Structure 1
Amino acid sequence: MSHKLAIEADGKAFHSSPQQKARDKRRDAFLRNNGWRVMRFSGRQIFRELNSVLDRIEKEISS
């Protein structure tokens, strides 16, 4: 059984404009339509809540 998990780190520099957000939505839809699970985390979450982010990733992998 193959598991596909995409983890995206969304920083303001590359993920805040309407065009960038639309591109991210298209990428997420493509990945989900091809059997991937997608998790997105903001830079703030990664830097301020890293343990929580890692716990969520671990739970996703385990499910």
Structure 2
Amino acid sequence: MKTVLQFILFLAIAIAAIAVGVIVGNYGLWYFSWLIGTALIVLFATAGGVLFDTQQEQHEII
């Protein structure tokens, strides 16, 4: 039963992705790169913040 539910879920996701692709048409690649770029910027900013905090903590210990 679990496998059937997973299959239905993935099928629904695939249908939604195809529908979004049809709706956005030629702009799909632009939207995809925009989303990926935004996610990468957020990840790099978060990693930079974590590294900065770690360096500050190490500097206070010494």
Q: Same fold (TM over 0.5)?
A: no
Query: Into which bin does the TM-score normalised by the smaller protein fall?
Result: 0.3 to 0.5
Q: Using structure 1 for the length normalisation, give the TM-score.
A: 0.34
The higher-RCO structure (CA 8 Å, 6+ apart) is 1
Q: Using structure 2 for the length normalisation, give the TM-score.
A: 0.35
Query: Would you tell me which structure has more helix in proportion to its own residues?
Result: 2
For the pair shown, which has the larger CA radius of gyration, 1 or 2? Answer: 2
Query: Would you tell me which structure has more strand in proportion to its own residues?
Result: 1
